[in-house]
Amino acid sequence: MNTFHDLGLNEDLLHAITDLGFTKPSEVQEKAIPVLLNSETDLVALAQTGTGKTAAFGFPMLQKINVDSRTTQGLILSPTRELCLQITNEIKLYGKYCKGLNVVAIYGGASITEQAREVKRGAQIIVATPGRMKDMISRNMVDITKIEYSVLDEADEMLNMGFKEDITDILSHTPKDKNTWLFSATMPKEVAAIAKNFMHKPQEITVGTKNEGSSQVSHEYYLTNSRDRYLALKRLADANPDIFSVVFCRTKRDTQKVAEKLIEDGYNAGALHGDLSQNQRDLVMKAFRNNQIQMLVATDVAARGIDVDDITHVINYQLPDEIETYTHRSGRTGRAGKTGVSMVIISKSEVRKIKSIERIINKQFVKKEIPNGMEICEVQLMSLANKVHNTEVNHDIDNYLGKINELFEDSTKDELIKKFFSVEFSRFHNYYQKAPDLNISESSKSNDDDRSTSNTTRYFINVGKKDGYDWMSLKDFLKEILELGRDDVFKVEVKDSFSFFNTENEMKEKVLAFFTDFKYNGRYVNVEVSENRGGGGGRKRDRRRGGGQRDDRRSNFKGKNDRKSSSGKSKSRRSKSDDFVASRPRRSRR
């Protein structure tokens, strides 16, 4: 077995490695470091999160650059501010005995002039997020024309986040003969394309099976109706009293909503998403690191920088759009040799997605039952009993023992125990004793969209098949422009020149407000409440037949194929809510 010494690293680095307490190289380090040290080559390395990629490129880069020169020779691009700072800190630690070394982090949300000043002092290595880097190049604040080594870290994530053009642009300012080292957890075709277009005969390294999730993680799914998703989430949390988890939602809106509800219900929860200020995000992350938050509800993008080792559960409140993203999510747990559980709450229509994920991660999911009320009560009771059993006695209580004993003079030990536990337990018991079964069966006929129509609003919209939509693409389109969650738009029925869809009543105001004056590709898109309730009982014939007066509005509507050019994003009305969530004692939880 190789030691760091065997890999060919110099004394300065070995000294730092000893300080860090790294005893042996990880697999990706063992494979990458000799290749990068001994040859001038491009490299594609695939390895999961937490496998030590930073050192795999960091050590060779540190050894190869010339610290006596103040020219920028190494450029590391990474997707988020958090990762950027993390890499910078690591590289500084690795290079602590490399005299004269200057590593500078460049990222958005902080003073650009201050960063430019630091670069000017002479940074041999720059660690940057693509957006800010591009900005600084265009303002002549950095010179990367002498770069010898460039690293694309978390390449799949950067591409997921839409940085492809920025990366292309940045690389066009670097010398052709530099070496590019690409690190990624997964290899979707976009990453393969980057490797093909920007790299010259890259050597390939794969750690573990391609795209395989961490072997320390077990995968479970729970089948329920969409409307019961939140209740299911609470049960999973209640059935795991010591949970320390990240709960993934698909949109910022759902993330905020779920976190707020959890807090309202007495859980130690917090939200992490892009609409929060940097300061708010830092506070939430701090609370999470300190275990004050047990359930961190996050979007995929915001969760990218989470480097917390002892996460016990990842909960997929909703499945991600991209299956690859699932690997990243589940990789948040089962780190540093610990085991973890990745749970997925799904509705029936998503069962086939589980099969696709299984193929990609090359592991089987276990179908689990959502715990029933009494099971949860038992778990909570036993957890409490264990806590009491393991509690260290506070001897200040001795002073009051006489009085307390007097009070319980006539109680037996059993009675006392029962009373004591009832204080905590009754709350759970009252809540759960009549709680319904949330499980549904895969084969049951009940339609996932079978919400009671009395709580929902049916709308008419003046686009249809003629505009290139089918029910799925119209649903996607509505979800996107209205920024709604996956299950918020349902019963979509597309006719030739018009369509119908439903939302919960509570969204009615938002939907109608959005479509007041909503122009799409130069044409007014009209949405009205329909009298047709849609599906369920007595599906009436639609009264509207898309009459003549609507046709003039439709004339220059170009249909869905053009929608990328104008996604209606300008209309976005995200609430930049400032009342981000903090933690709260867990006492009155429900």
104 binds, among ligand ADP, Mg ion, none (CB under 5 to 8 A by kind): none
Give the DSSP H/E element, type plus range, for residue 152.
Answer: strand 149-152
195 binds, among ligand ADP, Mg ion, none (CB under 5 to 8 A by kind): none
26 binds, among Mg ion, ligand ADP, none (CB under 5 to 8 A by kind): ligand ADP
55 binds, among ligand ADP, Mg ion, none (CB under 5 to 8 A by kind): ligand ADP
25 binds, among Mg ion, ligand ADP, none (CB under 5 to 8 A by kind): ligand ADP
285 binds, among Mg ion, ligand ADP, none (CB under 5 to 8 A by kind): none
Residues with Cβ within 8 Å of 474's Cβ and at least 6 positions away in sequence, in order, are 461, 463, 492, 494, 499, 501
Tell me the sheet residues that pair with 456: 504
> Which of the 8 DSSP states describes residue 516?
T
Closest to ligand ADP by CB, 52 or 270: 52
Residues with Cβ within 8 Å of 327's Cβ and at least 6 positions away in sequence, in order, are 48, 185, 186, 211, 213, 360, 361
Residue 221 CA to residue 125 CA, distance in Å, equals 44
CB of 26 to Mg ion, least distance (A): 12
- DSSP letter string over 9-61? --HHHHHHHHHHT--S--HHHHHHHHHHHHS---EEEE--TTS-HHHHHHHHH
Residue 53 binds to Mg ion (criterion: CB under 5 A): yes
Rounded to 5 degrees, what are φ and ψ at 422? -65, -30
Q: With contacts defined by CB under 5 A, name the span among 53-61, 168-176, 247-255, 384-392 that binds Mg ion.
A: 53-61
Whether the Cβ atoms of residue 105 and residue 84 lie closer than 8 Å to each other: yes
Closest to Mg ion by CB, 27 or 480: 27
Residue 582 CA to residue 259 CA, distance in Å, equals 10
Query: What's the Cα-to-Cα distance from 82 to each of 88, 133, 150, 281, 311, rounded to whole Å?
Result: 10, 15, 19, 10, 18
213 binds, among Mg ion, ligand ADP, none (CB under 5 to 8 A by kind): none
CB of 326 to Mg ion, least distance (A): 18
CB of 154 to ligand ADP, least distance (A): 8
Closest to Mg ion by CB, 79 or 270: 79
CB of 49 to ligand ADP, least distance (A): 4
The token duo for 527 is 């949405």
CB of 151 to Mg ion, least distance (A): 10
583 binds, among Mg ion, ligand ADP, none (CB under 5 to 8 A by kind): none
Closest to ligand ADP by CB, 13 or 269: 13
Closest to ligand ADP by CB, 49 or 174: 49
- DSSP letter string over 357-414? HHHHHT--EEEEPPPPHHHHHHHHHHHHHHHHHHPPP-GGGHHHHHHHHHHTTT--HH
SS (H, E, C) 178-200: CEEEEEECCCCHHHHHHHHHHCC
CB of 90 to ligand ADP, least distance (A): 6
Residue 525 CA to residue 563 CA, distance in Å, equals 13
Closest to Mg ion by CB, 200 or 210: 210
Whether the Cβ atoms of residue 481 and residue 567 lie closer than 8 Å to each other: yes
Looking from the CA of 203 toward its CB, the CA atoms found within 13 Å total 15
Q: With contacts defined by CB under 5 A, name the span among 50-58, 172-180, 262-270, 423-431 that binds Mg ion.
A: 50-58
Closest to ligand ADP by CB, 81 or 252: 81
Closest to ligand ADP by CB, 51 or 532: 51
Sites of contact with ligand ADP (CB under 6 A): 22, 25-26, 29, 47, 49-55
51 binds, among Mg ion, ligand ADP, none (CB under 5 to 8 A by kind): ligand ADP
Subset of residues 527 to 556 that bind Mg ion, contact rule: CB under 5 A: none
CB of 47 to ligand ADP, least distance (A): 6
Closest to ligand ADP by CB, 183 or 469: 183
Residues that bind Mg ion (CB under 5 A): 53
